Every structure is written in C-alpha cells, then in structure tokens.
C-alpha cells in the first residue's frame, strides 16, 4: 500500500471515529486518587503527543479538542460517564456510572466553561442515550403557564394526539423552565384539564427516569394520570410525553405570574 493511500485511509478512519453525535451533560467535579482511580481507564492524554497518544489538545479550544473527543471515545467503548482531569486527560471505565463519585466532590475544577478538572480531580460528564439534551421541541407560549387563565373566546388547547411521542420536550420562556410540579387549577394554561408533574425530579446522574403527570378536573388534582419520562440536563429538564391523554387536556408549565 503506497503512502498517499495510507494517509487517506487513516484520515477517513479518524473522521469516522469522531463522527459520533456524542451528546453529554455536565455532572460535577469529583476527587480522584492515584491508586484505585474513580475512573480507572485513561482513554487519551491530550496534553502530550507521542506514538501512544498521537492527538494533542488545542488550549484555546478545549471543548472541541478535549471534551468532545473524550465523549466520542467513551461512547465508542459503550461507557456512560467520562471525566477530564489535569486539563487534558480523558478518563472513563466500564463501571464509571458506579465509581465516578466514590471519593466525593472536589473544588479543583474550573468554575466556568470549558469545565475541566485539575490535579487529582475529574470534571465528570454523562453521555445521554437519545441526544435528548440537544434535540427537543420547545413549549414557550405564555398561555401554557400554570397562571394563565383559559380564554374561552380563543382556541382551547388539546395536547391529545398533538404530542410526538418519539420526541423530547422542554419548557422555556414565559411558559416556565419546567412542567408545573404542583396541582394546577382546571381552566388554566389555555386548556380545561391541566397537566402537572407528580413525580420526583431526578439528578443529572440519574439519567432518564419515569414519572406521572396528573390532570386536574372537577375538584380532583389527579382526576386521571399518564406515565412520562424525564431527564435532568443540568440547567433544564426535558420530558418524553404521552399523546394519549384525551381532550381537552394540556401540559402546563411552571411559568410565573406576569405583572401588568
């Protein structure tokens, strides 16, 4: 095989490896030890460049030259968590989801992005399974807020069969930053039966969790309920919602009262 062909093949293989759409979310900063490491497998050392570690970091673009590449390497091995230590070391392991926090939290990580660990500390990230923290649909209409009184002269919301059950949803803007988490009076958020999240909110490291949404009606805060999925993406939550909820039912956000 001639040299130009080898170079071309190597380039294509490298491009393929890092074509992973690795979606990840920040978990936090955790201590490590030199013996019995919390994340025992060094996937790459981007701080050095030699025959063993051929890839070198770009100190002005750590997100792309270290964190994203580390995420791709962890994903290619089927690992769920990975950590960045000493600015450019990529650590993970088969049991990373069980061991990443075994030495407790640390303060030896950067405080602003890019979030990376320093000496004997890992800034830990978690890979998502469905890219749910990057690919979602947004509910941001002000009339989806729990405090919006339904205007019956306008179209009343019916989320039944309007929800794409293969998609994730995020509440944002005037609708709120999450689904309402307490009983919402009927005839709010531009619907009749008002949906609110009756489950427990997970931590980032909990991954995708199940929960129930209750619909308020006729003096009953949970006249009927459906199962949904929820994911903590660090700065916000996303939900995989049920579309089989009947009319006129709608999912309500936790938006605040708008002063006029």
Residue 97 contacts residue 47 (beta carbons within 8 Å): no
Scanning the structure block, which residue is given the tokens 């709120």?
176
Segment-wise mean pLDDT, segments of 10 residues, the chain, 260 residues: 43 37 88 96 95 93 96 94 97 95 97 96 94 94 96 96 95 97 97 96 92 96 96 94 94 80
Which two tokens mark 3?
């040299």
Cα–Cα distance, 243 to 229 (Å, whole number) = 13
**Confidence (pLDDT) at 90:** 98
Cα–Cα distance, 101 to 146 (Å, whole number) = 37
Of 259, 257, 254, the C-alpha closest to 194 is 254
**Confidence (pLDDT) at 59:** 95
**Confidence (pLDDT) at 52:** 92
Scanning the structure block, which residue is given the tokens 């990529």?
90
Cα torsion angle, 244, 245, 247, 252, sign: negative
**Confidence (pLDDT) at 12:** 34
Of 175, 170, 169, the C-alpha closest to 143 is 175
Of 51, 13, 32, 135, the C-alpha closest to 93 is 32
Identify the three-state secondary structure at position 92: strand
**Confidence (pLDDT) at 5:** 41
Q: Which helix (H) or strand (E) holds 97?
A: helix 96-99
């Amino acid at each position: 095989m001639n040299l130009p062909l080898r170079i071309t093949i190597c380039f294509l293989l490298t491009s393929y490896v890092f074509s992973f759409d690795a979606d990840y979310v920040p978990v936090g900063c955790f201590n490590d030890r030199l013996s019995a490491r919390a994340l025992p497998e060094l996937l790459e050392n981007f701080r050095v460049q030699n025959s063993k570690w051929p890839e070198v970091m770009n100190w002005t673009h750590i997100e792309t030259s270290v964190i994203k590449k580390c995420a791709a390497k962890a994903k290619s091995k089927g690992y769920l968590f990975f950590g960045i230590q000493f600015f450019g070391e990529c650590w993970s392991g088969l049991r990373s989801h069980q061991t990443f926090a075994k030495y407790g939290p640390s303060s030896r990580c950067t405080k602003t992005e890019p979030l990376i660990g320093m000496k004997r500390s890992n800034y830990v990230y978690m890979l998502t399974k469905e890219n749910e923290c990057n690919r979602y649909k947004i509910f941001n209409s002000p009339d989806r807020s729990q405090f919006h009184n339904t205007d019956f002269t306008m179209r009343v919301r019916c989320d039944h069969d309007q929800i794409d059950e293969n998609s994730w949803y995020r509440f944002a803007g005037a609708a709120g930053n999450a689904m309402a988490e307490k009983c919402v009076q009927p005839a709010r958020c531009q619907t009749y039966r008002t949906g609110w999240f009756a489950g427990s909110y997970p931590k980032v490291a909990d991954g995708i969790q199940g929960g129930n949404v209750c619909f308020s009606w006729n003096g009953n805060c949970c006249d009927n309920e459906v199962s949904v999925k929820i994911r903590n993406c660090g700065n916000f939550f996303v939900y995989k919602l049920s579309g089989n909820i009947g009319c006129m039912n709608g999912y309500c956000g936790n938006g605040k009262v708008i002063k006029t």
